[in-house]
Amino acid sequence: MYIIFFISLFILFYTFVGYPFILRFVKTEKSITPLRDEFLPNITVVLCIHNSADSLAARIKNIYDSDYPSEKIQLLIVSDGSTDQPENVIPALNNPAVKLLHYDENKGKSFALSYAFEHISTPITAFTDIRQTFDSMALRYLASKLSNKSIGAVSGNLKITSHKSTEEQGLYWKYEKAIRIKESAFHSLLGVTGAIYMAKTELLPTLPKNSLLDDMYIPLSIVKQGYQVKFCEQAIAYDIVSGSVQEEFTRKVRTLAGNYQLMKQLPWLLSIKHNPLFFQFISHKIARLAMPFALITLFVSSFFLPSPEKYIIIFAQTFFYCYTVMGYLTETSKLNLPLAGICVSFCSLNLAALVATWKYTTEKDITTLWKKH
């Protein structure tokens, strides 16, 4: 039990402190100079929607208002079983470069993307969602970064703000993004931000139509082909922070369950010989899945430590969890507990990992975890 205690402690420390600390020694990539118009390639922007007709015109306008030459942008909209008639929005735009694909049954984003792949003719494909908006230079920066022959895909920089402020929100997302920036500089990203990324069309894989994590399956498949997937901090998209704790928790469960599915779909990820990102995958993804079990064994093994150390350690853990519950219960009140947000985010992530493990091992249809857009 003494050994189990220290192994558990090591897993916890390495996952959240040790791995990010190691990445601190990686030199951050330099900013890029955007290409001039004549060097920019023709691109297809893929936008998958489900019952979002009321937001569609504004999203299309945002894409074509960008600094990217409009004559080089094809927009492919996939209506995934929408019932709010998005086809009525397109004619009013009077833009022949905007194409709508529609089918009646709501089948999820991976199916919609697979369907879109059959209709892309440009050398470059960009991906986005209905909720976000692009900074005017976002597409130009992505295409400029992608002009490097060794790079197969580029992820943009999603900034999450609130309705009341333009200041970036979400402590966990900022922590996660800092790791991605360093991973990109080290070698390659494990995944991209689905709301803003770009890839070379010829490298796009055949995407399983039940995938939970298309934004990892696609870039990892590109890495397997010998290319790098990079992060471009200058290519910015904006989103509004979710006001629902339940919605955010559900998203975490889906993402973490998707990691299990990904290892089944791409078994080479667990091979140190065949996975060029093995160190990153184990440190960033597998360790996150092991975290809740390390927390449980840490608490249980604490009871077998010698006195009086065990009482101090048990009290510290119990206090932490009680403080976290208090922080969660008072989250919307005027009572501002110091560091409570960090504690809640930490415990929420690990609870989501437990739920994800349970759901993936017990549910026959794992695609129910994917909210249909």
Task: Note the pLDDT tens digit of each residue in 247-262.
Answer: 788 889 999 999 999 9
pLDDT at 278: 97
The parts of the chain modelled with pLDDT lower than 50 are: none
φ, ψ (nearest 5 deg) of residue 62 = -60, -40
CA–CA dist 130, 29 (Å, integer): 30
pLDDT at 23: 96
pLDDT at 370: 59
Residue 65, C-beta contacts closer than 8 angstroms, at least 6 positions apart: 136
Q: What are residue 47's DSSP bridge partners? A: 77, 128
Let me know if 18 is exposed, middle or buried by CB neighbors in 10 A (0-12, 13-18, 19+): middle
Going by their DSSP bridges, the two strands 73-80 and 43-49 should be labelled as parallel
CA–CA dist 140, 66 (Å, integer): 8
CA–CA dist 6, 82 (Å, integer): 52
pLDDT at 166: 60
pLDDT at 86: 93
CATH H-level superfamily of 37-241: Spore Coat Polysaccharide Biosynthesis Protein SpsA; Chain A (3.90.550.10)
Boundaries of CATH 3.90.550.10 in the chain?
A: 37-241
Let me know if 336 is exposed, middle or buried by CB neighbors in 10 A (0-12, 13-18, 19+): exposed
CA–CA dist 302, 314 (Å, integer): 6
Q: What are residue 239's DSSP bridge partners? A: 160
